[in-house]
Amino acid sequence: MNTSKPAFTLIEALISVVLMSIGFAAVYSLVTTSNRIMHASIERQKLNFQANEIIETLQADRKQIEEYGSKDLTRCDRLGGSGKSKHLDSMRRWCEKINGDVGGKKSYSDKRFIGVENKKDSLGNDIYIATIELSGKDGKTVYVKRVFYAQ
């Protein structure tokens, strides 16, 4: 009489546990990488949104656009210049929002700069080239450049 029944041996059970562990480790690694990439993308999106907000304000205030030129938004307490209070309020608001969204300046390579350059086009009309350069925690930089015709 044959009494052997089909069953798992201890070796087979250990091999299946090892294979499942490798699968779980792979899924965990995939989720971790996905989260890191998603957070970096969200940070760049916030910087892009902030750069577009700055550009919209510059477009609305073209008559005094030069007041926003050569401004560094890395330190909110150092904003100043000859600008009116509404210009300084706007720049402080942008600075605080950037610092709140992506944190304060982390390294020397972090840039949060607004540049406005006055040039003439081929017809002799004044144009302003606004440059916004914002960098985040991951070292990626959002760079926006827009040309405005003077009013």
- Where in the sequence is the domain holding 89, given as residue range(s)? 10-149
* 4 in any annotated domain: no
Q: What is the DSSP letter of 141?
A: E
* 57 in any annotated domain: yes
Alpha carbon 17 to its chain centroid, in Å, reads 42
pTM for the structure as a whole: 0.72
* 3 in any annotated domain: no
Residue 133: other Cβ atoms inside 10 A: 17
* 2 in any annotated domain: no
Is 92 exposed, middle or buried (CB count within 10 Å of its CB: 0-12, 13-18, 19+)?
middle
Whose structure tokens read 């350069």? 133
* 20 in any annotated domain: yes
Q: Kindly give the confidence (pLDDT) of every residue in the chain, 151 residues in length, as a single tens digit, with 9 standing for 90 and above.
A: 566 777 778 898 999 999 999 999 999 999 999 999 998 888 889 889 999 998 998 888 888 888 888 888 877 777 766 657 777 888 888 888 887 777 666 666 678 888 999 888 888 888 999 999 988 777 788 899 999 887 6
* 5 in any annotated domain: no
Q: How many residues does the chain have?
A: 151
* 54 in any annotated domain: yes
How far apart CA 137 and CA 123 sit, in angstroms, is 43
Strands (E), 11-151: 71-72, 112-120, 126-135, 141-149
* 32 in any annotated domain: yes
How many domains, in total, are found in the chain?
1
